[in-house]
Amino acid sequence: MTQRAPTGGEFAVIDRLKRRLPGPPAGETWIGDDAAVVGPGKGRVLLTTDATVAGVHADLSVMGLDDLGWRAVATAVSDIAAMGGRADHLLVAVAGPPATDLDLLYQGVAEAAAAHGCAVVGGDLSNATDLVVVVTVSGQVADDPGPVLRGGARSGDRLFVTGPLGASAAGLRTLRAGAEETVLADAYRRPLARLAHGEAARTAGATAMIDVSDGLGADLGHLARSSGIGFRLDDVPVAPGATVDEAIGGGDDYELVFSAPDVGRVTATFAAAGLAPPLVIGICTADASQRAWGDGELPPTGFEHRWS
Amino acid sequence: MTQRAPTGGEFAVIDRLKRRLPGPPAGETWIGDDAAVVGPGKGRVLLTTDATVAGVHADLSVMGLDDLGWRAVATAVSDIAAMGGRADHLLVAVAGPPATDLDLLYQGVAEAAAAHGCAVVGGDLSNATDLVVVVTVSGQVADDPGPVLRGGARSGDRLFVTGPLGASAAGLRTLRAGAEETVLADAYRRPLARLAHGEAARTAGATAMIDVSDGLGADLGHLARSSGIGFRLDDVPVAPGATVDEAIGGGDDYELVFSAPDVGRVTATFAAAGLAPPLVIGICTADASQRAWGDGELPPTGFEHRWS
């Protein structure tokens, strides 16, 4: 969060961005000093960071810079949701070409922060060829029950997903085909992290949880591998307008997949929180190599990284 | 900290990086889940993020990727030092070309983390054209005296710097001229954040503090503007081998500049902490437009950002 420019440009930009964002409560210091000062919370602290690279994670030919800013925040906050936590504070580091419309980008950042109930407390601006937005989130989670890790699923636990899948991938497909504004387009451009669902799953006894960022096949694979379990899926709920392939491999839906032993407790907890019941999609099995989907096998597909 | 790859490459990389870094204490979860879980500290929480872009903040023709990793950590931790705090946890987001030697980069990250007494608890890997390393630091600071902000300097306070300036810029210059390994080269490639000095300044009654990342002219200007004071400098301590211009405008030294009313208390506190006394370089004045240096004026030069 160093302000590196002695004069002119960057100061004006930072001042403008600061005015666009809500300010700190008494006793806290946010944007503009060397580091943000925030009060300690109760329970345990959650920390996560996530990079959104234009052209890799976000297609600027079908979305605005405000959408990219929104998406960068939602993607990072989703990792807090997947622990069953609450998102508190955001740091936003932007590296990109000098001509980048930072006001537009920060408009989306501010809208997403407000939508997810958290505050931007600092950031950094740098020059680079690519546009890279790295959002770091600090959050909190209670101690009992504590954060839901990836590795706690047990044989016999049911598998749940908080909503149908594939809308984001279908949105990208239809946007590239020239579609007008649609629900699917919003799913791609303005995803929402499932914070309330994650908290409900945690309090309902979830044993393992992950967000569907890469695709169900990939992310459920992570959960199964971390937990040392296999699974049998009866059903993969497909979002209206999406294909089965998009539901399994598309990713970027930010629904949560979790395991829990007691379907009735899960349903009741979600209802008490005013949330639609999560969909039961299968069961965890003792055979750690099992990846059954109906009569076949769930392909371990998903977002392909380019680091390999 | 999402692990996006379903198979092979990125998993292997993350596993390798994880093995290179120390693991968490009981009750905490670090690399490998959606978010890191860390215990709450006492006092107030400090958060800062800083991007290091190859070719902008770090010249890879004269430093290795391990040095870049080190520098990315030290730069970010320095913002915690400038608040008088302690650095606890690091998140490291790397976006870069697929061929980047991540092992070498993380070697430097791990060495710098150890040197600064903090732990890498998570990160993210993405593909991009440029190599961009964004390090986020979470730290702590006591309540009484609390964090040292930029805006608390008062007329009559003395100005201190924790060491002579210009070594980093001189190191870059000599490296580009083909120098062998030297103390100056290390100052550029392996800077150290002044955490102990920052804490000593805070407990010695510092009223404002900033790290010299952009250059004394620029950073002292930030402090003066935030505090609404001017200054008269008697002396700018120049590191052996550096020029006066490098001391004033070079930046990247990560010494701390601070204001405090009581020279004796500062000297005694530093001595009690086993630190060399900081150098008194001038005094804060009531004329907010004053930027006096000897008989002339301190140029507000420093690292030029490219966002303007």
Q: Where residue A36 falls among pLDDT bands split at 50, 70, 90? A: confident
Q: C-alpha distances in angstroms, A77 versus A82, A294, B140?
A: 9, 33, 22
C-alpha A217/C-alpha A197 separation (Å) is: 21
Q: Could B36 and A53 be called an inter-chain contact, meaning their C-beta atoms sit closer than 8 Å?
A: no
What's the pLDDT tens digit per position in B138-178?
999 888 898 999 999 999 999 999 999 999 999 999 999 99
Partner-chain contact A82 B304, CB within 8 Å: no
Could you tell me the pLDDT band of residue B267, with boundaries at 50, 70 and 90? very high
Sequential DSSP letters for A176-189:
HTT--S-HHHHHHH
Q: What is the average per-residue pLDDT within B54-78?
A: 94
Residues A42, A140 contacting (CB under 8 angstroms):
yes
CB contact under 8 Å between B80 and A211, yes or no, is no
Taking only the tens place, the pLDDT of each residue in B209-245 is: 999 998 999 999 999 999 999 999 998 999 999 999 9
User: Beta strand pairing status for A291-293 and A230-233?
Assistant: parallel
Task: Answer yes or no: is pLDDT of A307 > 50.
Answer: no
B178: how many CB neighbours lie within 10 A of its CB?
Answer: 7
Cβ–Cβ of A132/B132 closer than 8 Å? yes
Cβ within 8 Å, pair B32-A150: yes
What phi, psi does A138 have (nearest 5°)? -110, 130
Q: How many other CB atoms sit within 10 Å of the CB of residue B142?
A: 17
Task: Determine the pLDDT at residue A68.
Answer: 97
Identity of the amino acid at A258: F
Q: Considering only CB atoms, which chain A residues are within 8 Å of B307?
A: 5, 9-10, 13, 98, 102, 125-127
Highest mean pLDDT among A50-59, A212-221, A276-285: A276-285
A198 pLDDT more than 70: yes
A97 min Cα distance to partner chain B (Å): 8
In this prediction, residues B295-301 reach a mean pLDDT of 86
Q: Which residues contact A296 (CB under 8 A, 6 or more apart)?
A: none
| Higher-confidence position of A1 and A215 | A215
Domains belonging to chain A, first-starting first, are: 9-141 (3.30.1330.10), 158-297 (3.90.650.10)
pLDDT at B187: 93
Question: Tens of pLDDT along B23-42?
Answer: 888 878 777 777 787 776 66
The rounded distance, in Å, linking the Cα atoms of A170 and A235 is 19
Q: Could you read off the pLDDT of A258-267 as tens digits, one per residue? A: 999 999 999 9
| Length, in residues, of chain B | 308
> CB B6 to CB A308 under 8 A?
no
Contact, B100 vs B68, CB < 8 A? no
Statement: residue B7 has pLDDT above 50? no
Residue among A46, A51, A137 minimizing CB distance to B126: A51
% of chain A surpassing 90 pLDDT:
70
The nearest CA of chain A is from the CA of B176 a distance in Å of 22
Of A43 and A289, the one with more pLDDT: A289
**CB-nearest partner of B122 from A6, A40, A47:** A47
Q: Chain A partners of B82 at a C-beta cutoff of 8 Å? A: 34-35
Q: Over 60: is that where the pLDDT of A90 sits? A: yes
DSSP for chain A, written as a single string? -----SSTHHHHHHHHHHHHSPPPPTT-B-TTSSSEEE---SSEEEEEEEEEEBTTTB-TTSS-HHHHHHHHHHHHHHHHHTTT-EEEEEEEEEEE-TT--HHHHHHHHHHHHHHTT-EEEEEEEEE-SS-EEEEEEEEEE-STT----SS---TT-EEEESS-B-HHHHHHHHHHTT--S-HHHHHHHS----HHHHHHHHHTT-SEEEE-SS-HHHHHHHHHHHHT-EEEES---B-TT--HHHHHH------EEEEES-HHHHHHHHHHTT-PPPEEEEEEES-TT-EEETTEE-----PPPS--
Residues of chain B with pLDDT > 90: what percent? 71
pLDDT at B8: 46
Instruction: State the Cα–Cα distance between residues B92 and B120, nearest whole angstrom.
Output: 7
Q: Does the N-terminal peptide bond of residue A300 adopt cis geometry, omega within 30 degrees of 0?
A: no
Choose the closest CB to B6 out of A78, A85, A300: A300
Looking at residue A302, what is its pLDDT?
Answer: 62
Identify which of A9, A136, A151 has the shortest CB distance to residue B91: A136
Query: Taking a C-beta distance cutoff of 8 angstroms, is the pair B188, B168 a contact?
Result: yes
Residues 6+ apart with CB under 8 A from A256: A81, A82, A161, A162, A194, A197, A198, A201, A209, A210, A211, A212, A278
For all residues of chain B together, what is the average pLDDT? 89
| CB pair distance less than 8 Å for A308 and B9 | yes
Give the best residue of A47, A227, A254, A308 to mutate against chain B (max B CB count within 10 A).
A47
Q: Looking at CA atoms only, how far is residue A208 from chain B in angstroms? A: 10
Interchain pair A138, B47: CB under 8 A: yes
| Residue that has been written with the tokens 């001189």 in this structure | B170
pLDDT at B127 over 70: yes
Mean pLDDT of B195-217: 96
User: What is the rounded CA–CA span in Å between residue B52 and residue B65?
Assistant: 12
DSSP string, chain B: -----SSSHHHHHHHHHHHHSPPPPTT-B-TTSSSEEE---SSEEEEEEEEEEBTTTB-TTSS-HHHHHHHHHHHHHHHHHTTT-EEEEEEEEEEE-TT--HHHHHHHHHHHHHHTT-EEEEEEEEE-SS-EEEEEEEEEE-STT----SS---TT-EEEESS-B-HHHHHHHHHHTT--S-HHHHHHHS----HHHHHHHHHTT-SEEEE-SS-HHHHHHHHHHHHT-EEEES---B-TT--HHHHHH------EEEEES-HHHHHHHHHHTT-PPPEEEEEEES-TT-EEETTEE-----PPPS--
Strands across the sheet containing B256-260: B208-211, B256-260, B158-161, B279-285, B230-233, B291-293, B296-297
- Confidence at residue B304, expressed as pLDDT on a 0 to 100 scale: 41
A2 has pLDDT over 80: no
Query: Closest approach of chain B CAs to the CA of A82, in angstroms?
Result: 6
Q: Do A35 and B137 touch (CB under 8 A)?
A: yes
Give the confidence band of B44 by pLDDT, cuts at 50, 70, 90.
confident
CA dihedral B16, B18, B22, B23 (to 10 degrees): -140
What's the pLDDT at B41? 65
pLDDT tens, position by position, A124-148: 989 999 999 999 999 998 888 989 9
Nearest to A35 among B83, B222, B306 (CB): B83
User: pTM for this structure?
Assistant: 0.90
- Distance CA(A163)–CA(A277), nearest Å, equals 9
pLDDT value of position A305: 37
Burial zone of A208 (CB within 10 Å; 0-12 exposed, 13-18 middle, 19+ buried)? buried
User: What integer pLDDT is reported at residue A7 of this predicted model?
Assistant: 37
